[in-house]
A and B are shown apart, each in its own frame.
Chain A
Amino acid sequence: MPGNTGTYLIRGASILGGAPADLLIRDGVIAETGTGLSADGATVIDAAALVALPGMVDVHTHLREPGREDAETVETGTRAAALGGYTAVHAMANSTPVADTAGVVEQVYSLGRAAGWVDVRPVGAVTVGLAGEQLAELGAMADSRARVRMFSDDGICVHDPVLMRRALEYVKAFDGVVAQHAQEPRLTAGAQMNEGEVSAVLGLTGWPAVAEESIIARDVLLAQHVGSRLHVCHVSTAGSVEIIRWAKQRGINVTAEVTPHHLLLTDDLVRSYDPVFKVNPPLRTDADVQALRAGLADGTIDVVGTDHAPHPSEHKECEWAQAAMGMTGLETALSVVQHTMIETGMMTWADFARVTSTAAARIGRLEDQGRPLEAGEPANVILVDPAARWTVDPYRMATMGRNSPFKGRELPGKVVATFFKGHPTVLDGGLNTPFPYAAAPAGAA
């Protein structure tokens, strides 16, 4: 049922980078598409130089609330998301308390609605307290108001093979997916960075590629054995891409994600010992970067997930070994993907829509997201200026995290407008207003 969110006529936008067309957005849906559209009382947006895309869907966001409101809140994180072109984010479960009960996921869901900038879809923990010992009440979270479909102990690998098997089996009951943080714990005890040429010189404990690849290999075989759905978080190595390609060729129901930073940055940056480059999984080599780009282009990797991980500055202004792992990403993802995938000729804007929206919505089972830009569809739409160039300044971002590894880089592409359920959360490249849940009929939610 449509809500009364106003009428917007977008004129002459390049639809998914293709032919220009008008989009008439009215009461939460795309009412009409075509050329030469008109509508009385509509706010007209000249989009002649802009690309229209479905609102982006992040499968991997850390909003830090509840528990670490000094790092990020649902409000600030979703403002960042809207500015970055997102209309939905999956909030990871490693909050304090952990999102391992219906109560916590409903709290996060409610905070998301109260903020109103994007759909906040909580991810439920696979195990109680992320402890890897006993299954959390997955069913209760699935049946809650938050309708959780993605479950992950992200940050910690579900390394016990029996527990992983049971989780994969159990979520079949409600069409869930287990999103695995693939990291063999024994092979990565104390790990600080990618294990290889650079770690050898820097004297930092290595995080070997095999620690990721061995878990992915095990998990795709488990998913095949029990006939379940597996999602692999933040794939970072060339070997992982090969294993997932092999699994897909065998018909195994696996999806995979890559972060923007793994598409661009390498472990050479760690030579600075600047913890802004400390992340888990770690930055890898150029050969890995190239394999990840190829995997994303050919569909082996399904989606881009930001792994947006804001940290307070004191967790980064310290020794490398003391620093927290993680990077912000919501406000730079579009630009980095444009830079690494579109401007290299490896992908089109239609491919971009697939990896940042359509496929991501399908993995998370978000029915109103990642839809075609056609009449009758929910109006989750963004307008992007692909010719824009900007220099990343973490102090000018909406996220509270200042830990952007892209600081000082010039990147292409800027989100000009974000329509969330037909309402402009972002206009003229700046925040507008949140979606007016209170004013809209209940059905619009």
Chain B
Amino acid sequence: MKHLLSTQDLSRTNAIRILDTAEEMAAVGDREVKKLPALRGRTVVNLFFEDSTRTRISFEAAAKRLSADVINFAAKGSSVSKGESLKDTAQTLSAMGADAVVIRHWASGAPHRLAATDWIDAAVINAGDGTHEHPTQALLDAFTMRRHWAKLAGTESEGADLKGMRVAIAGDVLHSRVARSNVWLLQTLGADVTLVAPPTLLPIGVEKWPCEVSYNLDETLAQGVDAVMMLRVQGERMNASYFPSTREYSRRWGFDDNRLKALDRFGLKDTIIMHPGPMNRGLEISAAAADSPRSTVLAQVRNGVSVRMAALYLLLSGDTREAAAAPVLASAGAAHSTKESN
């Protein structure tokens, strides 16, 4: 694994290796000194062509906890806004000796271009590209779900997958890189996925995806579900006839208070509610749902750092063999934490 570009081409073995490594990384976050020397002397560039403070600081925290040098390169206020091309930017970073480039880009496929061309030799991590993929988000979602699923089963997370877990992903699937990455990864890990959305916000061709598709959130909940992931509704969709009004959207596809109560009514006491953030409270998720004990929103953020540490570590250690991970990580402390199981 030289790059992390998508979850579609991520094997089950590599996916579980990342999640297992993230468990060990999570233990570092529980220590007083939250730092490993693993990437000392390595340079990680956060190359952001699109604003995303959350994702950038998550990657920054991950790289710093591994002792890497971090350079933040935001397209705004840089040469990029003066018309410099991706090629020239990449070659510049290459000349400065970047070992890894974490790229967020508004254009689908931009990370693939960096990885496929000879513009730069660094490891490329896709931190979200257009409406294509956001693989580390899906990995942190899977990490969060796996802890929950393992705890319910009374087993350890390490080595486990999500076999049999019923996951509903609801909202703007058409424009969501989070939904795409989740569909592929959850399928790889054995979960049963149902996408719930208005027909206008599902892509033509979704019927070929390895998941079920529903237009009705209530029916999906009634059939039983172990995790509900609500997708953010982007403001610019609201005036483009994807749905009549935000109120109608909220009534039909939002996770509102009635649906929160319905989980109890259906006896779904262990169902978790997920959201990749940032949330539109009152639109796709009600405040009560977001703040309920079922919500994993903050656990997702916390797990994001662990998963990104794992991705950076595995890509930059230059070796993805299991044996290679062991010695360095031994210093992270053997005990892994399962306390974030919600």
Given contacts A201-B8, A203-B132, A203-B177, contact A321 B108 (CB under 8 A): yes
Q: B85 and A317: CB pair below 8 A?
A: yes
Tell me, yes or no, whether A206 is within 8 Å of chain B by CB. yes
In the bound complex, residues from chain B placing their C-beta under 8 Å from that of A200 are 203-206, 208-209
Query: Which residue in chain A gives the minimum CB-CB distance to B184?
Result: A201
CB within 8 A of B108: which of A197, A204, A314?
Answer: A204
Tell me, yes or no, whether A320 is within 8 Å of chain B by CB. yes
Most chain B CB inside 10 Å of its own CB: which residue of A195, A273, A318, A321: A273
Q: A273 and B8: CB pair below 8 A?
A: no
Most chain B CB inside 10 Å of its own CB: which residue of A196, A200, A206, A319: A319
Type the 1/0 row for A185-225, where 1 means its CB is closer than 8 Å to any CB of B. 00000001001111111111110100000000000000000
Tell me, yes or no, whether A134 is within 8 Å of chain B by CB. no
Tell me, yes or no, whether A274 is within 8 Å of chain B by CB. yes
How many A-B pairs fall under 8 Å by CB?
76
With A203-B133, A321-B106 already in contact, 11 other A-B pairs whose C-beta atoms are closer than 8 Å: A195-B205, A200-B209, A203-B108, A272-B112, A273-B112, A273-B116, A274-B116, A317-B85, A318-B86, A319-B86, A320-B109
CB within 8 A of B109: which of A195, A196, A204?
Answer: A204
In the bound complex, residues from chain A placing their C-beta under 8 Å from that of B116 are 272-274
Q: A202 and B108: CB pair below 8 A?
A: yes
Tell me, yes or no, whether B130 is within 8 Å of chain A by CB. yes
CA distance A201 to B131 in the complex (A): 9
Given contacts A201-B8, A203-B131, A317-B87, contact A273 B204 (CB under 8 A): no
CB within 8 A of A196: which of B112, B132, B180, B205?
Answer: B205
Question: Nearest chain A CB to B158's CB is how many angstroms away?
Answer: 31
Can you sample 22 A-B contacts with CB below 8 Å? A197-B205, A199-B204, A200-B203, A200-B209, A202-B108, A203-B129, A203-B131, A203-B132, A203-B133, A203-B177, A203-B180, A204-B108, A204-B132, A273-B108, A273-B112, A314-B85, A317-B87, A318-B86, A318-B87, A320-B107, A320-B109, A321-B108
Tell me, yes or no, whether B237 is within 8 Å of chain A by CB. no
CA distance A320 to B107 in the complex (A): 7
Interface bracket on B: 20 to 34
Listed from nearest, the 8 A-B pairs whose CB atoms lie closest are A273-B109, A203-B132, A200-B205, A203-B131, A200-B203, A319-B107, A197-B205, A321-B107
Give residues 272-291 of A contacting B (CB, 8 Å). Answer: 272-274
Tell me, yes or no, whether A4 is within 8 Å of chain B by CB. no
In the bound complex, residues from chain A placing their C-beta under 8 Å from that of B206 are 200
Tell me, yes or no, whether A38 is within 8 Å of chain B by CB. no
Tell me, yes or no, whether B110 is within 8 Å of chain A by CB. yes
Tell me, yes or no, whether B113 is within 8 Å of chain A by CB. yes
In the bound complex, residues from chain A placing their C-beta under 8 Å from that of B117 are 317
Tell me, yes or no, whether A96 is within 8 Å of chain B by CB. no
Tell me, yes or no, whether B65 is within 8 Å of chain A by CB. no
Query: Which residue in chain A gives the minimum CB-CB distance to B85?
Result: A318
In the bound complex, residues from chain B placing their C-beta under 8 Å from that of A203 are 108, 129-133, 177, 180
